[in-house]
């Protein structure tokens, strides 16, 4: 069973923070911190309930996730910037976990139900609007009572 996308995105946040945290503790922090920061911005930019910016559609995110995992591995193994061995191992492990999360995630976006069409009959439309107004009021009262009872 595939996991909902918001769980995928939370896992991305956790993996990104793990990379930044390991980078900060490493004598050679540059690569892990940069890759972790990139992953954090990437996760925060994808359309979802826990997104900060909602710029990237999920179908693009689905294709780009393996590329991001490859970037993490390449960042660990590249020869130009020194990366401590334990940081390399952790970066490769993060990439493996990331690919597992990608494989187990559902990327479909919820389709919003179209608003109820006007019937053309004024009485029906007025009754529908009044019902929604009363329903919203009842929900508000119930929420207020629940908060009062909990607090």
* Alpha-carbon dihedral 77, 83, 85, 91, rounded to 10 degrees: -60
- Residues of the chain with pLDDT below 70 are 116, 118-119, 151
Whether 99 and 127 map to the same domain: the answer is no
Number of domains into which the chain is organized? 2
Domain with 65, as residue range(s), is 5-103
3-state SS assignment for residue 105: strand
Nearest partner of 34 among 63, 72, 7, judged by Cα: 72
Token pair 């909602």 is at which residue? Answer: 54
The 8-class DSSP code of residue 124 comes to H
Whether residues 99 and 32 share a domain: the answer is yes
User: What pLDDT, on a 0 to 100 scale, did the predictor assign at position 128?
Assistant: 83
DSSP lists the bridge partners of residue 56 as: 46
Both 135 and 89 in one domain: the answer is no
Domain co-membership, 93 together with 44: yes
Instruction: Find the helix or strand (DSSP H, E) in which 72 lies.
Output: helix 58-77
Whether residues 127 and 99 fall in one domain: no
- Inside any domain, residue 110: no
Residues 50 and 93 in one domain: yes
The pLDDT value given to residue 151? 64
Q: Are residues 135 and 92 in the same domain?
A: no
Beta bridge partners of 105: 3
User: What are the C-alpha distances in Å from 50 to residues 36, 54, 110?
Assistant: 18, 9, 14
Same domain? 86 vs 137: no
- Write down the pLDDT at residue 26: 92
């Amino acid at each position: 069973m595939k996991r909902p996308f918001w769980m995928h995105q939370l896992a991305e946040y956790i993996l990104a923070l793990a990379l930044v945290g390991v980078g900060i503790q490493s004598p050679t922090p540059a690569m892990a911190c940069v890759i972790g920061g990139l992953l954090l911005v990437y996760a925060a930019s994808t359309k979802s309930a826990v997104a900060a910016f909602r710029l990237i559609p999920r179908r693009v995110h689905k294709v780009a996730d393996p590329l991001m995992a490859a970037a993490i591995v390449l960042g660990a193994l590249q020869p130009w910037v020194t990366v401590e061995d334990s940081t390399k191992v952790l970066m490769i492990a993060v990439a493996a976990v990331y690919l597992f999360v990608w494989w187990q995630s559902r990327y479909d976006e919820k389709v919003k139900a179209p608003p109820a069409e006007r019937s053309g009959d004024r009485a029906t439309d007025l009754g529908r609007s009044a019902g929604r107004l009363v329903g919203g009021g009842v929900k508000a009262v119930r929420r207020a009572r629940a908060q009062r009872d909990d607090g």
